Chain A
Amino acid sequence: MTIDPKRWYPVAASDDLPQDHVYQTRLDGRPVAIWRAASGDVNVWDDRCPHRGVRFSVGYVIGDELRCQYHAWRFASGSGSCTHIPAQPDAKPAAAIRAQTWPVRERGGLVWTGITPEGEPAVPIDGAVLRAIPVNRAIEDVEPALKAIPDAAFILQPVDTERCVIRGLAAPERTYAIDAMLERLRLTLETV
Chain B
Amino acid sequence: MILHNFELSAECYAVRLLAAMLDITLELRRIDVFPGREHEEPVFLALNPLGTVPVLETDGASLYEWQAMLALLAARSAHQDLWWPTDEPRLIEWLGFAHRLAASIGPARAHDGMGMEADIDSCRRDAHRLLRVLERHLWFAECDGNHWLLAGAHPTAADIAVFVHVILSEEGGIERMDYPAIRRWTDRVREIDGFIPMSGVFSPLKAVEM
Q: Which residues of A contact B (CB under 8 A)?
A: 12, 15-16, 18, 20-21, 23-26, 58, 60, 62, 67, 69, 72, 131-132, 134, 165, 176, 179, 183
In the bound complex, do residue B205 and residue A134 qualify as a contact, i.e. CB atoms below 8 Å apart? Answer: no
CB-based contact B205/A60 at 8 Å:
yes
How far, in angstroms, from A67 to B206 measured CA to CA in the complex? 13
A131 & B202 in contact (Cβ 8 Å cutoff): no
* Chain A interface helix/strand/loop/mixed: mixed
B143 nearest CB neighbor, chain A only: A175
11 pairs, CB–CB < 8 Å, chain A vs chain B: A16-B180, A16-B184, A20-B187, A21-B183, A21-B184, A21-B187, A24-B177, A58-B202, A67-B205, A134-B178, A179-B136
In angstroms, Cα B203 to Cα A69, docked, is 10
Contact with A along B192-206 (1 / 0, CB 8 A): 000000000010010
Rounded to whole angstroms, the CA-CA distance of A24 and B140 in the bound complex is 20
Residues on the A chain within 8 Å of B178, using CB:
134, 165
B interface SS class = helix
Q: Is B209 an interface residue (CB 8 A)?
A: yes
B44 interfacial contact with A, CB 8 Å: no
* In the assembled complex, B94 has its CB within 8 A of some CB on chain A: no
State A62–B204 Cα separation when bound (angstroms). Answer: 12
Query: Shortest CB–CB separation between residue A190 and chain B, in angstroms?
Result: 11
A67 to B208, CA, bound (A): 11
Question: Which residues of B lie under 8 Å from residue A131 when comparing CB positions?
Answer: 136, 139-140
Q: How far is the CA of A15 from the CA of B140 in the complex (A)?
A: 12
When A131-B136, A183-B136 are in contact, do A20 and B205 touch as well, CB less than 8 Å? yes
Are B177 and A25 touching (Cβ within 8 A)?
Answer: yes
Q: How many residues of B contact A (CB 8 A)?
A: 15
Minimum distance in angstroms from B122 CB to a CB of chain A: 16
| A16 to B180 alpha-carbon distance, docked (Å) | 7
Instruction: Pick the contact of A18: B139, B140, B184, B208 (CB < 8 A).
Output: B184
CA distance A111 to B73 in the complex (A): 43
Asked if B205 and A62 make an inter-chain contact with CB atoms under 8 angstroms apart, the answer reads yes
Residue of A nearest to B177 (CB): A24
Task: Name the CB-closest residue of B to A180.
Answer: B136
A62 with B209: CB separation less than 8 A: yes
CB 8 Å contact bits of B18-29 with A (1 = contact, 0 = none): 000000000000
Interface pair A23/B183, CB less than 8 Å apart: yes
CA distance A18 to B180 in the complex (A): 11
Q: Residue-by-residue, is B120-155 near A (CB-CB < 8 Å gives 1, otherwise 0)? A: 000000000000000010011010000000000000
Give Cα A132–Cα B142 distance, bound, in whole angstroms: 14
Query: Which residue from chain A places its CB closest to the CB of B178 in the assembled complex?
Result: A134
Residue in B136, B177, B184, B202 with the greatest tally of chain A CB atoms within 10 Å: B177
Which B residues are CB-close (under 8 A) to A24?
Answer: 176-177, 183
Residue of B nearest to A69 (CB): B202
B147 CB, min distance to chain A CBs, angstroms: 11
- Contact residues in A for B202 (Cβ distance below 8 Å): 58, 69
Known: A21-B187, A183-B136. A132 touches B180 (CB 8 A): yes
